[in-house]
């Protein structure tokens, strides 16, 4: 039973990936702030509850 479910999930994930809509996590290599480093470059962080950096004080 688990094998068939795993195969269905794998098929669905493969279809999502082929459609170009698979979400990939980007590791953050700096502290959470308004500007963060990921993928070797600095970017603005709009995806966290602390995207303005107000929780740092």
Q: What is the pLDDT of residues 29-41, one digit of tens each?
A: 988 878 889 989 9
Residue 8: count other Cβ atoms within 10 Å of its Cβ: 10
Decide if pLDDT at 44 tops 80.
yes
DSSP state string for 8-33:
HHHHHHHHHHHTT-------B-S-SS
Residue reference for tokens 């994930």: 13
Single pTM value for the model: 0.51
Please classify residue 31 by burial: count the beta carbons closer than 10 Å to its beta carbon, then call 0-12 exposed, 13-18 middle and 19+ buried: exposed
pLDDT category at 8 given cuts 50, 70, 90 is very high
């Amino acid at each position: 039973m688990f094998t068939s479910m795993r195969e269905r999930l794998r098929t669905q994930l493969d279809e999502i990936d082929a459609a170009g809509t698979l979400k990939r996590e980007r590791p953050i290599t700096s502290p959470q702030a308004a500007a963060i480093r990921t993928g070797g470059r600095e970017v603005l962080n709009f995806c966290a509850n602390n995207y303005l950096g107000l929780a740092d004080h």
